[in-house]
Chain A
Amino acid sequence: MAAAGPGRDFPAGPPLRHSARVRVLHCADVHLDTAFPGLGPEWPLRRRQAIRSALGRIARLAAELRVDALTIGGDLYEDGRAGADTAAFLGDVLGGVPCPVLIAPGNHDPYLPTSLYARHPWPGNVHIFRSREFEAVAVGDMRVCGVAHLQPKGTPNPLAGYRVPDGPPAVALMHGSEVGALQFEGAAKVDHAPFQEAEVAAAGFAFALCGHYHMPRATPWLCYPGNPEPLTFGETGERGAMLVDFTTTPPTVTRHRVATVSVADAEVDISACSHREAVIEAIRAAVPARADRCVRVRVVGDLQPTVAPAPQAVLEAVRSAERCCVIEWDLRLADDLDALAAAPDIRGEFVRILLARPDQGSPLVREALQAGLRALADEDPGLL
């Protein structure tokens, strides 16, 4: 159904059973007020600000594209953290969208009596779905049927046994897990409101505008726009809002990037570094000083005996207002452990003892080896 958008290929599916003269801009998983631990004192606020900027861009995009509705497939904000400022921001931004804004609360922003949805005033053009059952809102000559999460977890499949009432073409707006794609989301992804793609058609929906999966995806029957602003490392590639154009048969899904910050992964081999400053320089070289990029640096290689890595000191030296990064250390000791272990001296015995442990490949043993060997070389362990 979904055809290729500019610069992006999505599989084209079968034509809609009913055509509609509607175009909607769909986004989801904005996750306003997300916490960004481990990024130091400055960057978390910038990242949260970037998420707000992304939502603002989506709002402007809706105006520029003159869509018939802006749909938000849940997880608009983090319920546990969002406050009045976020509510005011949302009211301001969404109130400025010159078309209806339809929100289907998700597991991170369930419709609770204490949630922003319930306790704050919303602009007149914003419609928040409040029921676990599908509720229809007319958009042009089409119906957008939304459903809400009413609790942070345990929301059942809203499509199970549901059948769209007769009427104009209907599109589902929901926050749920299409089980066929759960494997791409990583082991930590919880399958809230699990459903199968086939259930969309079975329920009589022409299409499903979904949220929950952060990996952008579009199939003949549904689309996940992904989180517009990357929230964790690994969320690379194009993501943002999807323009779903129902005026053509089959409809067209076009992706629009709105992110202001990108994330990246870098690997730095410090085997050739003989001192800490060299390590710092190597990492700096891998992390460009850019305000719009956060880099996860994986430091690998052999840790030379002369190097006291001091991860915290290295992180503080590398990270700055212009350089956002987290550092993961995955080093081997450059020492010839086999040779050391062969020696009948205390060091050899020490190495033998540690290598004899069942967890000898663990970071604990590696760091214990590092600490002991450096101490025997009259050096600090260099672990902090």
Chain B
Amino acid sequence: MKICSLTLDGFGALSGRYEFDGGLTVVAGPNEAGKSTMHQALRVALCGLDLPPRGRRPRETEELLRHYRPWGGGAFQVEVEVEIGGGRYQVVRDLERADSSAVWDAVRGGEVTEDFRRGRTVDVAVRMGMTRDTFLSLATVAQSQILDLDATALQEDLQRAAASGGGRATARGAIDRLQQYRRDFIGGERASSRPLSKVTAELDAVARQLEAATAQRDALAEQYQQQQALRERLDVAEAELQAAQVAWWRAELAELDAELRALAELERALAAVPALPLPPRPDVVREAAAGAEELGNQLQAATAAIAGLTPEDPVLAALAPITSGAELTYLAGVMEEAIPALPPQRGRPAGLDAVDRKAISRRRWAADLLGLVGGTVGVLLLLYALLAPSGQPRPAAFLAGIVLLLLVGAGVTVLTRHLRRLLAAGGFTSVRAMRRAAAAAENDPEVAAAIVAQQAALSRRTEARVRLRALDLPDAAPRLRQLAAGITEAQSALTQLAAWQQTLARVAAEIEARAKRAGLGAGQPVALAAALLQAGQSLRAAEEAAAKRRDLEAQRDGRLAGRRLEDLEARAGDLRQRLVARDTQAAPAPSAAAGRERAEAGQAAVEALRGELLPLEARVAERTAALPDLPALEERRADLEAQLDRLRAVAAAVDLALRGLETAEERVHRTLAPRLAAALAGWIPRVTGGRYARVWVDPESLAVHVAPPGVHRQVAIGDLSQGTQEQAYLCLRLVLAELLSPSGDPVPMLLDDPFVNCDDERCDALLESLATTAAGAQVIVFSHETRVATWARRRSVPLIALQRLAVDTGMGAPVPRAPTGRR
């Protein structure tokens, strides 16, 4: 393949047509002259943009377009004319429209775009039978590939070129990478830490878990069956228990109903017996009320006797206790006794008998004594008041003296007047006259005797009168005799009355005492006796009622036997509810006790079954809960199996790739090695001045060895000089460009400033070597070095000299603008 020309219409700063020689062409120019732009334009023109089959352009492609789109706008086109396989083609690309490329047959005319199409782009590599990457890798030799060249780099570069036309990895590197991937991401079946063995081990573990879980589930199924059998037995036992309970409850309910009816009778009887209140101290009341009726009778008898014995004449009744009939008769006799008369006119005044001389004497004596003593004291008081030692009178004493004297005077006056009235009864005016008359009378014996008699009579009468006054009786003798006649009977009645009264008092006292003890308070004995009697009766009635209630209650309690009625009723209600709830027709048991016994036996049977069932259920529940999730385990197993299958599939693919790579490497190296050796063999004597004539290339590693003529000792090419290595490298790349071209049509080589590190001699040698080699393949050298341009002019090698571009215009100055349009 040869690049004939490149026509740029607005690629970066370059525009114009550039023609290339079929052998070596030098593109020279200083920095910023557009060499790299032309280099890139050639790549784009030949292979197009890097585009995916569909979708957006990669970022790198966008960046390239952005970088090389003309600054001033306008067309953005590249056009290249190439010779491939004897044909001549013109590739035209409008880079503003990324998919717009066309290829024209420059000899026969007509569009042959589809012959160059790869996906969305058009690529001359297609016609070369190469991929874009391979073509570009083979066609491009970067500056660094020569600058950093040493034996190892040379060998690796050869290997890379052999691997994929100069890609990023050698075949050995790819094999190493795959083996590393195989080890790290897959591993072997037995390695412990790699995915394949880990998944295998995990799969085994899950399979075991699944097996164990299945066995556990099967074992559990047996326990389920046991559980089910027990549940069925329990159901039967519970049904029997329920029937037994119903029979028991019915019997018990019947008994309870009978019991409750009897109790209801007792309650009614109890309700009929009032609960009379008992006094706080019944014994006292009972004792107090005992004989209350007799006492009442006695009280009535006494009262009646007293009423019958009381004298009708109250005077007699009053006199009977204090006098007697004899005294009354005596007094009547005294009163009826005549006063002996004095002898008539025998010098003694008649009035003397009419006065009470002793009384008169006492009055007289009293008046005298009052006057004397009172007057004396009054005078002394006056004197005391008036004759005070301090000269100051004492009014109080004075006043007391005056009052005393006045009182004494008044008293004396009263006494005197009374004395005069006494004296007047005898017709005397003074005491002295009376005393004289008395003295005169005492001197007559008859008179004296008469007087004595008279005085005796008078004295008796006086005494009688005194007595009568004491008895509050008149001094009428008939009356006295009448009284004397009745007083004995009255006294007898009174004696009896007294006895009855004592009896009455005793009975009343007794009644009151009893009433007090009985707490009846005070009152009339009769009422108290009646109250006592009533209390006694009430007490008896209450005690009788209480006794009857006790009896009934005892009967009730006996029936209840320590149970409470409400409990029995509640139990009966509960039983009725239970029976309604059960709604079964089981016959009642013969008795509640028998029914209960049977129910308890049934309950024991049920409990026994539950005792078996509950632990079993707990075990089943526990094992059920512990039973692994079988679907999840199966999913895990399936996932692991899928993972394992995938790992094995990937392992198989990687292994296949490894085998393929190793085989391919071996085959290609075996093919390349002798051809490289042959190519170098014709070239190495020339560049080494004949020092080395023979070349070996190791088919395994593509290591290059040389040997002098006639010497078998091989020298590694890395042991040669740097310049020789560089020349050898360029030679080998040129050979590879031909060898690795599927069509055998050598790929043109674009060298980017390969000589920057070479001295003039090495630079010339390399250029000479390229000039020689380029006879078979097209070489385009881009260089900024003047010596290269000079060499080209000197050797008449085609030269495209680029000038530094004006930044503001971006236009390449020296070359004319190429014609546009398709041809």
Contact A346 B665 (CB under 8 A): yes
Interface residue A36 (Cβ < 8 Å from any Cβ of B): yes
What's the nearest-Cβ distance from chain A to residue B186, in Å?
8
Interface residue B654 (Cβ < 8 Å from any Cβ of A): yes
Inter-chain contacts of A236 with B (CB < 8 A): none
Interface residue B513 (Cβ < 8 Å from any Cβ of A): no
Interface residue A197 (Cβ < 8 Å from any Cβ of B): no
Number of B residues, CB within 8 Å of A:
76
Contact A336 B131 (CB under 8 A): yes
CA distance A310 to B198 in the complex (A): 19
CA distance A107 to B126 in the complex (A): 60
Given A38-B638, A334-B53, A339-B126, residue A375 in contact with residue B185 (CB < 8 A): no
Residue interface mask A283-306, B partner, CB < 8 A = 1? 000000000000000000010100
Inter-chain contacts of A37 with B (CB < 8 A): 634-635, 637-639, 642
Residue of B nearest to A337 (CB): B131
Inter-chain contacts of A39 with B (CB < 8 A): 635
Interface residue B243 (Cβ < 8 Å from any Cβ of A): no
Contact B646 A377 (CB under 8 A): no
A-B contact count (CB 8 A): 217
Interface residue A232 (Cβ < 8 Å from any Cβ of B): no
CA distance A83 to B213 in the complex (A): 11
Contact A344 B181 (CB under 8 A): no
Interface residue A330 (Cβ < 8 Å from any Cβ of B): no
Contact A38 B178 (CB under 8 A): no
Contact A349 B52 (CB under 8 A): no
Interface residue B805 (Cβ < 8 Å from any Cβ of A): no
CA distance A258 to B169 in the complex (A): 58
Interface stretch of the complex, out of A89-97, A149-157, A363-371: A363-371
CA distance A348 to B661 in the complex (A): 10
Interface stretch of the complex, out of A15-23, A113-121, A131-139, A259-267: A113-121
Contact B163 A346 (CB under 8 A): yes
What's the nearest-Cβ distance from chain A to residue B656, in Å?
4
Contact B657 A369 (CB under 8 A): yes
Contact B130 A375 (CB under 8 A): no
Residue of B nearest to A357 (CB): B656
What's the nearest-Cβ distance from chain A to residue B131, in Å?
5
Interface residue B471 (Cβ < 8 Å from any Cβ of A): no
Query: Which residues of chain B (154-169) have a CB below 8 Å from chain A?
Result: 161-165, 167-169
Interface stretch of the complex, out of B221-229, B278-286, B559-567, B813-821: B221-229
Interface residue B590 (Cβ < 8 Å from any Cβ of A): no
What's the nearest-Cβ distance from chain A to residue B619, in Å?
12
Residue of A nearest to B125 (CB): A339
What's the nearest-Cβ distance from chain A to residue B188, in Å?
16
Query: Which residues of chain A (75-116) have a CB below 8 Å from chain B?
Result: 78, 80-81, 83-85, 114
Given A345-B134, A371-B653, A375-B174, residue A380 in contact with residue B624 (CB < 8 A): no
Given A119-B225, A375-B178, residue A84 in contact with residue B220 (CB < 8 A): yes
Contact A81 B630 (CB under 8 A): yes
CA distance A120 to B220 in the complex (A): 12
Among B171, B186, B634, B663, point to the contact of A35 (Cβ < 8 A).
B634
What's the nearest-Cβ distance from chain A to residue B536, in Å?
80
Query: Which residues of chain A (295-335) have a CB below 8 Å from chain B?
Result: 302, 304, 311-312, 334-335
Interface residue B649 (Cβ < 8 Å from any Cβ of A): yes
Contact A336 B162 (CB under 8 A): no
Among A33, A114, A304, point to the contact of B52 (Cβ < 8 A).
A304
Contact A372 B185 (CB under 8 A): no
Interface residue B97 (Cβ < 8 Å from any Cβ of A): no
Residue interface mask B627-663, A partner, CB < 8 A = 1? 1001110110111001000110110111011101101
Inter-chain contacts of B652 with A (CB < 8 A): 364, 368
CA distance A7 to B606 in the complex (A): 57
Inter-chain contacts of A38 with B (CB < 8 A): 635, 638-639, 642
Contact B657 A345 (CB under 8 A): no
Interface residue B231 (Cβ < 8 Å from any Cβ of A): yes
Given A343-B131, A371-B654, A381-B657, residue A84 in contact with residue B224 (CB < 8 A): yes
Contact B163 A378 (CB under 8 A): no
Inter-chain contacts of B656 with A (CB < 8 A): 354, 364-365, 368
CA distance A375 to B662 in the complex (A): 12
CA distance A36 to B52 in the complex (A): 38
Inter-chain contacts of A371 with B (CB < 8 A): 178, 181, 653-654, 657
Contact A33 B162 (CB under 8 A): no
Interface residue B58 (Cβ < 8 Å from any Cβ of A): yes
Inter-chain contacts of A119 with B (CB < 8 A): 221, 224-225, 228
Contact B181 A274 (CB under 8 A): no
What's the nearest-Cβ distance from chain A to residue B634, in Å?
4
Inter-chain contacts of B228 with A (CB < 8 A): 119-121
What's the nearest-Cβ distance from chain B to residue A89, in Å?
13
Interface residue B426 (Cβ < 8 Å from any Cβ of A): no
Among A35, A339, A364, A376, point to the contact of B129 (Cβ < 8 A).
A339
Interface residue B379 (Cβ < 8 Å from any Cβ of A): no
Given A119-B228, A383-B654, residue A84 in contact with residue B624 (CB < 8 A): yes
Among A120, A273, A344, A368, point to the contact of B668 (Cβ < 8 A).
A344
Interface residue A340 (Cβ < 8 Å from any Cβ of B): yes
CA distance A161 to B660 in the complex (A): 63
Residue of A nearest to B639 (CB): A37
Given A339-B130, A376-B164, residue A78 in contact with residue B661 (CB < 8 A): no
Contact A81 B631 (CB under 8 A): yes
Interface residue A196 (Cβ < 8 Å from any Cβ of B): no
CA distance A328 to B252 in the complex (A): 78
Inter-chain contacts of A36 with B (CB < 8 A): 631, 635
Contact B740 A274 (CB under 8 A): no
Inter-chain contacts of A46 with B (CB < 8 A): none
Residue interface mask B721-745, A partner, CB < 8 A = 1? 0000000000000000001111000
Given A38-B638, A121-B228, residue A342 in contact with residue B129 (CB < 8 A): yes
Contact B657 A368 (CB under 8 A): yes
Contact B54 A271 (CB under 8 A): yes
Interface residue B671 (Cβ < 8 Å from any Cβ of A): yes
Among B126, B174, B632, point to the contact of A45 (Cβ < 8 A).
B632
Inter-chain contacts of A381 with B (CB < 8 A): 178, 181, 650, 653-654, 657
CA distance A206 to B631 in the complex (A): 39
Among A44, A372, A383, A384, point to the contact of B660 (Cβ < 8 A).
A372
Inter-chain contacts of A181 with B (CB < 8 A): none
Query: Which residues of chain B (371-387) have a CB below 8 Å from chain A?
Result: none
Contact A44 B653 (CB under 8 A): no
Among A34, A121, A364, A372, point to the contact of B631 (Cβ < 8 A).
A34
Residue interface mask B794-823, A partner, CB < 8 A = 1? 000000000000000000000000000000
Contact A354 B639 (CB under 8 A): no
Contact A344 B740 (CB under 8 A): yes
Interface residue A60 (Cβ < 8 Å from any Cβ of B): no
Residues of B within 8 A of A (CB): 52-56, 58, 118-119, 125-126, 129-131, 134, 161-165, 167-169, 171, 173-175, 177-178, 181, 185-186, 195, 214, 217-218, 220-221, 224-225, 228, 231, 620, 624, 627, 630-632, 634-635, 637-639, 642, 646-647, 649-650, 652-654, 656-658, 660-661, 663-665, 667-669, 671, 739-742
A35-B632, A339-B125, A345-B134 known; 11 new pairs, CB 8 Å cut-off, are: A37-B639, A78-B631, A81-B634, A271-B55, A272-B56, A343-B130, A347-B134, A350-B660, A369-B657, A371-B654, A380-B181
Residues of A within 8 A of B (CB): 33-39, 44-45, 48, 78, 80-81, 83-85, 114, 119-121, 271-274, 302, 304, 311-312, 334-336, 339-340, 342-350, 352-354, 363-365, 367-372, 375-378, 380-381, 383-384
Q: Which 8 A-B pairs have the closest CB atoms?
A: A272-B55, A37-B638, A349-B664, A367-B653, A375-B174, A372-B657, A342-B129, A368-B656
Q: List 29 A-B contacts (CB under 8 A).
A: A35-B635, A38-B638, A38-B642, A44-B632, A83-B624, A84-B220, A84-B224, A119-B228, A273-B55, A274-B58, A334-B52, A334-B53, A335-B131, A336-B119, A339-B134, A343-B164, A343-B165, A344-B668, A345-B162, A345-B668, A347-B134, A347-B165, A364-B652, A369-B657, A372-B658, A376-B169, A377-B169, A378-B169, A384-B185
